[in-house]
Amino acid sequence: MQQPTFFEGPEKKIELVVAPGGGPKLRSLGDEVWSRVVELARAQILSVIRDAHCDAYLLSESSLFVYDDHLTMITCGRTRLVDAALHLVELVGARHVALLVYQRKNEHFPEQQPSTFYEDAERLHAVVPGRALRFGDEHDHHVHVFHGTRPYVAEPSDTTLEILMHGLRPEAAAQFIGIEPPNGSTIAERTGISKILPGFAIDEHAFTPAGYSMNALRDGTYYTIHVTPEELGSYVSFETNADVGGQVDAVVARALEVFRPTSFDVVTFAPMGTPEEEVRPEGFVVRDRVAASFGGYDVAFWHFSAPREGVRAPIELAL
Amino acid sequence: MQQPTFFEGPEKKIELVVAPGGGPKLRSLGDEVWSRVVELARAQILSVIRDAHCDAYLLSESSLFVYDDHLTMITCGRTRLVDAALHLVELVGARHVALLVYQRKNEHFPEQQPSTFYEDAERLHAVVPGRALRFGDEHDHHVHVFHGTRPYVAEPSDTTLEILMHGLRPEAAAQFIGIEPPNGSTIAERTGISKILPGFAIDEHAFTPAGYSMNALRDGTYYTIHVTPEELGSYVSFETNADVGGQVDAVVARALEVFRPTSFDVVTFAPMGTPEEEVRPEGFVVRDRVAASFGGYDVAFWHFSAPREGVRAPIELAL
């Protein structure tokens, strides 16, 4: 029998690019500014790793990657990422915002969120005029995306891959519940996570009693994984800005092997005109596919699920 | 471009059976009592049809069927059906409640609801001890069910069939937007609804600017249909207590023909030990199947969707 406690894994995310000549380099703002930004979202910085290009903050609820001229911030739980986004726009100055993308994955428990996507989009629209889109059905997996409509040209290698996985099989979820402290090897090595994209510096955190977060960094390229293993809403997100053009299918296959979800979504951002990726995960069927071009990117959404056989028992919620 | 207005089609439902000798016949309580019950749920009675066994009320948000010893009440939108349920338990006396089942379909916009299923179940559990179950995944179609745990034996013909349809194809939805007043024929006849189960007296209501509700009654047997045709969350529910044993598949096929959903769920209640129904809708695949026995019934949940081909554009929400 399940206790009706839960943790909301599905994330909110912002991407913000500062226009050339638009104020100070973001990394020069210093940790105090980033602590404040993270606090506004109702999260905290747990740790940071840095390289020549990127400061990668591991948060109590997900991650923040700061570059000199752009940043990616991802938060889960009941965080208020839109408050951080509005503060960032003010910090940078709305006229210097070259690109703003705000995304929300469909939540497991949307009634527990402090705001709806639409409310968030209206607040962002007031400072950075833009559009609000839904990729996928309202009664099925979907992502909502707000994007500013200022013209923007993405760099050729500026891609993003998100793999958003639901309903982990129990043996995969169990690896992230009551995690023992690493002994010689990292949790990423022990679970196979470090093989999804090899050769990265890894910053990881195990949560008590359950849960796992990690940032990986190599030459300004990141990947990040956040695991909510609890049965009442198990979920894992994988995201990378590595240029995996032509290899999306292979990276997806490696992530599926570690986390063994029963359904998942893939979201890709690629510079406009990039050849389309084929994603054909073995043992899954396509349930939806949505595509659009905006903000200099071709954006694609796929929703996959494994066919289910036989009859299950219901989940009982403890009263 | 869509306005972000919406109507929540997915319903809440109660079934309540009064133990033999447990106070006055429900139908004898009179319309004033039922008006009060309906008001507590934040709905209103629009009209009523009656036969020797049942008073069938059409509501501003769905339907109420009152028999001498049991009732079924279904409400959609942002109604507070649990308040009506608690009032009914008080009216009947908790010790006279032979069976209480409270069900909630996964909503399109759960953040707009006045309470969660779990909160409702806790309130009911305080007066009628029971269990709370979820049929289906938290990130996919599901129904939540609370049921009292007092032993109960269902009558042999006491079955319920629910067909809960999402994402109507536009030409099917269009029939229920800006409905012209009937001219000689009923809307049920014009749309093919009256052929799903023929030979019933029909009470129907067209909503402005869109939407449709109907109750059908024949010898104490009902069926009821509620249509939310708006693109941002289109939905139709069909429910009947007709004994359709062995014909569930055929009734489902007729409902699908009228409403042309892209995905739908079937929920059946049948007296424990009834032979299992086969449901194999043409052009759909089974995405989930969950079954349990409680309260004297075998309860089954199926989730179906039509495979989707090609690539769609996202939905734009007007800001």
Q: List, as ranges, residues 123-152 from B with C-beta within 8 Å of A.
A: 125, 130-135, 137-141, 145
> CA–CA distance from B197 to each of A17, B202, B251, B317 (Å)?
59, 11, 8, 38
In B241-294, beta strands by DSSP E: 261-271, 285-294
Average pLDDT over residues B275-298: 94
B61 pLDDT exceeds 80?
yes
Judged by CB atoms closer than 8 Å, whether chains meet at B110 and A106 is answered as no
pLDDT at B231: 84
> CA–CA distance from B70 to each of B24, B59, B192 (Å)?
11, 18, 30
Per-residue pLDDT reduced to its tens digit, B73-103: 999 999 999 999 999 999 999 999 999 999 9
> With bands split at pLDDT 50, 70 and 90, how would you rate the model's confidence at A31?
very high
A1 pLDDT exceeds 60?
no
For this complex, say whether ipTM is above 0.95: no
Is the distance from CB of A237 to CB of A226 less than 8 angstroms? Answer: yes
pLDDT at B192: 96
- The phi-psi region of residue A56 (left if phi > 0; otherwise alpha if psi is between -120 and 50; otherwise beta) is beta
Of A292, A308, A314, the CB nearest to B134: A314
A113 pLDDT exceeds 80?
yes
- Chain B residues closer than 8 Å to A286 by CB: 307-308
B62 is catalytic: yes
> With bands split at pLDDT 50, 70 and 90, how would you rate the model's confidence at A72?
very high
pLDDT at B205: 97
Of B108, B263, B317, the CB nearest to A118: B317
Tokens matching residue A227: 């695991």
Average pLDDT over residues A220-242: 96
> With bands split at pLDDT 50, 70 and 90, how would you rate the model's confidence at B255?
very high
B309 is catalytic: no
Give the integer Cα–Cα distance in Å for B116 and A8: 15
A169: closest CA of chain B, how far (Å): 13
B261 close to A (CB below 8 A)? no
Per-residue pLDDT reduced to its tens digit, B160-184: 999 999 999 999 999 999 998 778 8
- Chain B residues closer than 8 Å to A312 by CB: 288-291
- Chain A residues closer than 8 Å to B113 by CB: 111
What single DSSP character describes residue B94?
A: G
Strand partners, A216: A202, A223
Give the integer Cα–Cα distance in Å for A143 and A124: 17
Judged by CB atoms closer than 8 Å, whether chains meet at A138 and B109 is answered as yes
Domains of chain B: 12-305 (3.60.90.10)
